[in-house]
Amino acid sequence: MKKTTHKIYFADSRDLSFIESESVDLVVTSPPYPMIEMWDELFKSFNGDIRKALDERRGATAFNLMHLELNKVWDHLYRILKEGGIACINIGDATRKLGDEFRLYSNHSRVLVYCSELGFSTLPLILWRKQTNAPNKFMGSGMLPPGAYVTLEHEYILILRKKGYRRFYTGEEKLNRQESSFFWEERNTWFSDIWDLKGTRQNLNHTEARERSGAFPFEIAYRLINMFSVKDDLVLDPFFGTGTTMYAAMASERNSTGVEIDSGFKSYIEKKTPVIIDELNRYTGERLQRHLDFIEDYKNTKGELKHTNIYYEFPVITSQEKKLKLNYIERIEKIDGHLPEYRITYLDRATLKKSMVRDVEKLPFTASDDQLGLPF
Ligand SMILES: C[S@@+](CC[C@H](N)C(=O)[O-])C[C@H]1O[C@@H](n2cnc3c(N)ncnc32)[C@H](O)[C@@H]1O
């Protein structure tokens, strides 16, 4: 039986010395964003000079000091990633008025410059478009030039690689890579540089509470994990929050480690994890169903597909998808110990062959995040 493990440390990721060098295949994360007010108190607790700078309305100094705190995490990420390993960092810029000055604080460019100085190769990035219909979204002088401001309606997903290309040597490694492939039609969407997630199921249990915690949508973590790692890899999220990266890793047959400074998330994770199986399996089922719908459409408009997936016996566009395989989760067990740690056991896909997709769609949702008690 195939298994993965998932471990959460309640600790400060500015010091990740408890994680071995060159042990992580992929990082998927979203830090607290400098100069966004919801994170002010946290940054002030990291360095008293940040409090002073904000109190004295010296925005540029506060911004700089906040990034010096985040840089400590990026230093560790470079150390603990394997060669060829990738870090995906979701970050938004901030606009803010301090004293008389309104300005943009460009978080994404600060992180990109620092990480490339560390040695990361910066890869083409993704703009996550977050259009809002809020009536007050336009700031500044209204209809009078030149003091009106462009609205920020996007965030960034920075993609950084540590030294060189990852290689797959043995037959087993090559097969695992093939079984980790994604569908051709997913490639076309996932590898486009603008992600507008409207119309996708953004989250498992997406609630206002999750938004207030700064959680990113499940779809983001799920795509990044499937784009930039293979099954059995280790995925790290050093800003764990509500555990979105861990749940996406569980659904994707990857191992994961999370680090979170706020131990208030612990009881939420402990309540949610044991009951999340059905939702994760439903997500996998929906992914297969989308492929079946795509095939139907393709056949009707363009004709027969050339290749057949050997496990599902359904058509696929390219030979690279012939061994693509998605296993459902059978069991989630908590491992005894002082950390929250979980072992996931997977059903081989064949077990669900007959009831494959539609039955999974009938699975119930788990309790809502509000019922599970996020720490705010
Ligand atoms: C933007 S949120 C990430 C949310 C997460 N992606 C999710 O989906 O729930 C940032 C998280 O990092 C945590 N955090 C901030 N500074 C930290 C640090 N130095 N070490 C560990 N966690 C930290 C915050 O408490 C918060 O939960």
Among protein residues, the one whose CA lies closest to atom 7 of ligand 1: 215
Question: Token pair of 274, please?
Answer: 């044991």
* Amino acid present at 346: Y
Q: Provide the pLDDT for residue 201.
A: 59
Which atom of ligand 1 is the closest one to the Cα of 262?
25
Best residue for ligand 1 mutational test, from 222, 261, 263, 272 (most atoms within 8 Å of Cβ): 261
Query: Does the bond joining 146 to the residue before it have cis omega, within 30 degrees of 0?
Result: yes
9 and 92 in one domain?
yes
205 and 132 in one domain?
yes
What is the per-residue pLDDT across 119-138, written as a single tens digit (0 to 9) for each?
Answer: 999 999 999 999 777 777 88
- DSSP-assigned beta bridge partners for residue 123: 159
235 and 289 in one domain?
no
Among protein residues, the one whose CA lies closest to atom 1 of ligand 1: 214
Measured CA to CA in angstroms, residue 33 lies from 40, 85, 238 at distances of 9, 24, 14
Which atom of ligand 1 is the closest one to the Cα of 210?
9
233 and 106 in one domain?
yes
From 241, 275, 309, the end of a domain falls on: 275
294 and 197 in one domain?
no
Q: What is the average pLDDT score of the chain?
A: 91
Cα–Cα distance for residue pair 179/299, rounded to 1 Å: 24
Banded model confidence at residue 102, pLDDT cuts 50, 70, 90: very high
Cα–Cα distance for residue pair 195/185, rounded to 1 Å: 15
Q: Is 90 in the pocket of ligand 1 (CB under 6 A)?
A: no
Q: Is 33 in the pocket of ligand 1 (CB under 6 A)?
A: no
Instruction: Domain of residue 221: give its range.
Output: 3-275
Give distance in angstroms: CA of 258 to centre of ligand 1: 10
**Residue 373 confidence (pLDDT) above 80:** no
51 and 14 in one domain?
yes
Measured CA to CA in angstroms, residue 42 lies from 58, 286, 300 at distances of 18, 38, 55
> Do β-strands 194-196 and 120-129 pair in parallel, antiparallel, or remain unpaired?
parallel
Cα–Cα distance for residue pair 204/273, rounded to 1 Å: 12
Number of independent structural domains in the chain: 2
**Residue 354 confidence (pLDDT) above 50:** no
Q: Is 34 in the pocket of ligand 1 (CB under 6 A)?
A: no
230 and 130 in one domain?
yes
Sign of dihedral through CA atoms 170, 176, 180, 183? Answer: positive
> Of 209, 200, 155, which Cα lies nearest the Cα of 375?
209
What is the per-residue pLDDT across 33-58, written as a single tens digit (0 to 9) for each?
Answer: 999 999 999 999 999 999 999 999 99
139 and 39 in one domain?
yes
From 242, 275, 308, the end of a domain falls on: 275
**Residue 191 confidence (pLDDT) above 50:** yes
Measured CA to CA in angstroms, residue 64 lies from 26, 108, 117, 145, 243 at distances of 27, 13, 16, 31, 28
Residue 191 neighbours by CB under 8 Å, 6+ apart = 227
Rg of the chain over CA atoms, in angstroms? 22
From 245, 275, 305, the end of a domain falls on: 275
321 and 192 in one domain?
no
CATH number at residue 162: 3.40.50.150
